[in-house]
Amino acid sequence: MRRLIGLCIVLAALASGISRAQDAPTDWWRDTTWYLLFVRSFYDSDGDGIGDLRGVIEKLDYLNDGDPSTTDDLGITGIWLLPIFEAASYHGYDALDYRSIEQDYGTQADFLDLMDAARARGIRVIVDMVVNHTSSQHPWFQASLAGDPEYADWYVWQDTNPNTQGPWGERAWYEKEGRWYYAPFWSEMPDLNYDNPRVTNEMLDIAGFWLDEMGVDGFRMDAIRYVVEQEVDGRRLLSNTPANREWLARYNAYVKQLNPEAITIGEVWDTSSSVVRYIRDGSVDVAFEFDLAEAFITGGQSRSKRAPARTLERILREYPGGAFATFTSNHDMTRLLTQLQGSVGANRVVASMLLTAPGTPFIYYGEEIGMMGDKPDEFIRTPMQWDSTPITGGFTAGTPWQPLTSGFEAVTVAQQTGDPASLLSHYRSLIHLRNTYSALRTGETFFPATTGGSVYAILRQDAEGTFLVIINLADREIERYDVTLDDVELTLSGTAEVVYSDGTGAVVPPTLSASGTLEAYKPKPSLAPHETLIIRLS
């Protein structure tokens, strides 16, 4: 029955032009700090060497213990689970059954227990939804390959080899049984055919299953540039097509019909100008900001404020309602500390920019302790480093599915817990500050001018407070610096409270100009190397 209802809702949404703003009465996600969690590598509860859902439950208190008054948890309020469907490969992006839990991870009952445990701690949970392709072993593809009339056109087939390349210039067509199918991501990941409305209806039914029966809070939508190809002026466009954004908008409308508070977060690995179209068209609620991620990392690498400040200022002009997700690494990218050539100080300042910026922040598991790893993908998805136990790192009582990173013994949760100077303590403190002060989550953002190219500063403000963030991106002490904000009139109490500093020394309050602006403010004589200073001005 849901399948028929789903199709009716989609058609109604298309006819009436339902917008994202109409369908989403709440934007709770703007107040959420997310953790990107790969179940296979997080924690193994049964000793088989593979992380599982019960293991996630056992470690939830590490993420958030449910008590806002404690500070020894990370303070995470949202979890994105990488694919947990039954799949052909270890990573899960080639689904065999969208309604079954990957048998390595547990059961549907385990997942429901995880949802209950997360809710008890104030944590929202979204799952990775892969709508572009399935495994070549999926029953749908096997039936389509066999010529079953019901599934014959569920995938993109041609009788002869089109000899065309995929969206990145890669091989995209593969032969089976004398016919050719389209699979740009990998020969064993054939693309679904959304020109067939039955495929759309099935994917809507799957979304309904996860929302209604499994209780998830929404979906991270994988690789959504490529879902629907389109013929335009005699050319077949393979990504970012108008038809693609339209299909996603209908999908999003259906999700909102089932649960107005459910969220869709899109992966559009592209420039900001392309990404923002998916927000404006209502294709997804939020999209990952790849340009900004690159700018944050560039700031840490170059010790220059130029890239992060200019990129963030531009993005705030482009995106409606702050509908962008911020991050610094993920399961497809070289880990952050590796990109920063092992500089923990640079990692600290990149984390500071991420967690004091507007947008919705995502942290890749292990980033908070400085896990390292480079391609191939298995090496950036290694097991979590809980302690210095040889070989296992406290991840499992058995043999880890993938060896831990070389030298992991010196970079663990146990080692950094209780050390106020550790990277983990830095992340914990900043996340708890973000949870405590709404201005650091959803306040207006202003960009003061700073002397010194290595001094990055932003000001976040709402009715509850004004916060000046000053970050020394350099690996040396800086004495010659000041901060000026001459285009915003401030009303201050004459006090300056340090709410966070990983340097030393007291600060002096600012003296406003006659017009109420901040001019040449120098809160302390010098900034320590890689220091983050957050001052509450009112």
Catalogue the active-site residues. Answer: 222, 267
Sign, CA dihedral 272-277-280-282, equals negative
Cα 102 to its chain centre, rounded Å, is 22
Placement of tokens 């067509």 in the chain: 173
Select from 8, 158, 75 the least CA-distant residue to 437: 75
What radius of gyration do the chain's Cα atoms show? 24
Closest CA to 457 of 405, 521, 411, 385: 521
* DSSP reduced 3-state for 66: coil
Q: Where are the strands (E) in 189-347, listed by range?
A: 218-221, 230-232, 235-237, 263-266, 286-288, 324-326
> Within 10 A of 391 (CB to CB), how many other CB atoms are there?
12
**Are the CB atoms for 272 and 291 separated by under 8 Å?**
yes
| DSSP single-letter state for residue 211 | I
Query: By the 8 A CB rule, do 462 and 439 touch?
Result: yes
SS (H, E, C) 452-475: CCCEEEEEEEECCEEEEEEEECCC
Q: Around Cβ 272, how many Cβ atoms within 10 Å?
A: 18
Q: Residue 289: helix, strand or coil by DSSP?
A: coil
Q: Say which DSSP state 410 is in.
A: G
What distance in Å separates the CA atoms of residue 26 and residue 7, rounded to the nearest whole number? 25
- The number of beta carbons lying within 10 Å of the beta carbon of residue 234 is 5
What are the angstrom distances between the C-alpha of 320 and each of 245, 291, 363, 410?
Answer: 17, 17, 23, 43
**Burial category of 215 from C-beta neighbours within 10 Å (exposed 0-12, middle 13-18, buried 19 and up):** middle
How far apart are the two ends of the chain, measured CA to CA in Å?
Answer: 56
d(CA 33, CA 362): 6
- State the Cα–Cα distance between residues 19 and 14, nearest whole angstrom: 10
- Length of the chain equals 538
- Closest Cα to residue 407, out of 378, 381, 370, 377? 370
Residue type, 289: E
Cβ atoms of 413 and 59 within 8 Å: the answer is no
Sheet of 483-485: strand order equals 449-450, 483-485, 518-521
Helix 242-258 to helix 2-16 angle (10° resolution) is: 120
What the block records as the tokens of 500 is 């966070």
CA dist., res. 63 & res. 117, Å (int): 12
